[in-house]
Amino acid sequence: MPEIQLGVHTIRSHGARVARFHMHDWLILMLLVVIEIILNVIEPFHRFVGEDMMTDLKYPLKDNTVPFWAVPLIAVILPLFIIVVFYFIRSDVYDLHQAILGLLFSVLITGVLTDAIKDAVGRPRPDFFWRCFPDGIGAFHNVTGNVQCTGLKSVVKEGHKSFPSGHTSWSFAGLGFLSLYLSGKIRVFDRRGHVAKLCITFLPLLMAALVGVSRVDDYWHHWQDVFAGGLLGITIASFCYLQFFPPPYDADGWAPHAYFHMLAESQSVSPPEANNRNRSGLRQTELEGV
């Protein structure tokens, strides 16, 4: 067999094979999309909100500093762009496919968990009073004391989705995955003491954190909502990344597991001499690329 080289596993040569092998994963992603849509359509739990509970729920109703449509751009499109850039640098379809799959799993699993918890908890947002009573006149049931909202149904519905923060969880899911991806690609933990590399991997996390801060500043979330959203997003991102890639501090953290599995399968049917050349050539090529 020909000697295995880096840079020859392109979309044209190996893309169909890789996609077929992970066909069931793409089907699960489609199922997650359907579940996410359903969770956004159903009505969340409307927990009891009495008049004496309105003290912390009378913050002004403001627009979003980071609008809803911008979240997919930040959490999905930006990481996808950087992943594609690395594909054009290395021409490795295994890395491209596994990174895209891991990123989508990260944000979709996080989205499903976030919205499921939102619907189940039904925590009022800090601006709930003005959502419920846009005219500023409170109305409460004469027996139970529960709120009798007079605002738009869609606005009140959204007011029951404070915990956890979806903006924050999605941002940490996508940008947290990107941070781990960059850590492996630029070999942050190569023990050479390049702090600049570490700073690069912190930039996505800083962006995600600023999105979370904006949710508190806009009075759309309590700080606990943002903290829980960030923790949920970065946890799911870590699990999804490690499903497809070695830890960033690993010596082989620069490529996905599937790439090394492919090399092992190819080399298992090669002559011993070719195997030795492949291993040494692979390692030398990677060291020269550092």
Q: What is the pLDDT of residue 289?
A: 46
Of 30, 240, 242, 49, the closest CA to residue 128 belongs to 49
Nearest CA to 234 among 113, 99, 121? Answer: 113
Quick one: 157 exposed, middle or buried, by C-beta within 10 A (0-12, 13-18, 19+)? Answer: middle
Catalytic residue among 221, 222, 257, 261: 221
The count of other CB atoms within 10 Å of the CB of residue 1 is: 10
Residue-level pLDDT at 253: 77
- Per residue in 156-173, pLDDT (tens digit) is 999 999 999 999 999 999
**63 Cβ partners below 8 Å, 6+ apart?**
218
- Please name which of 163, 176, 79 lies closest in space to residue 120, comparing C-alpha atoms: 163
22, two tokens:
């992970």
Contacts of 69 (CB under 8 A, 6+ apart): none
Q: How is residue 190 written in tokens?
A: 């190569």
Nearest to 156, CA basis, from 130, 120, 126: 130
Q: What is the pLDDT of residues 178-222, one digit of tens each?
A: 999 999 998 888 888 788 888 999 999 999 999 999 999 999 999
Q: What angle do CA 61, 131, 37 make, to 5 degrees?
A: 100
Residue 228 to residues 54, 276, 287: CA-CA distances in angstroms?
A: 23, 49, 40
Checking if the pLDDT of 281 tops 60, the result is: no
Tokens in use for 118? Answer: 């939102």
Q: Looking at residue 193, what is its pLDDT?
A: 78
pLDDT over threshold 80, residue 26: yes
221 is catalytic: yes
CA geometry: angle at 241 spanning 239 and 242, to 5°? 65
Per-residue pLDDT tens digits for 220-264: 999 999 999 999 999 999 999 999 999 988 888 787 877 777 777
- 141 catalytic, yes or no? no
Residue from 9, 97, 160, 167 carrying the catalytic annotation: 167
Round to whole Å and give the CA distance between 285 and 75.
32
CA distance 253 to 246: 5
State residue 270's pLDDT score: 53
Instruction: State how far the Cα of 190 lies from the Cα of 231, in Å rounded to an integer.
Output: 27
**Which residues neighbour 39 within 8 Å (Cβ) at sequence distance 6 or greater?**
112, 115, 116, 118, 119
- pLDDT, one tens digit per residue, over 264-277 is 776 765 555 444 44
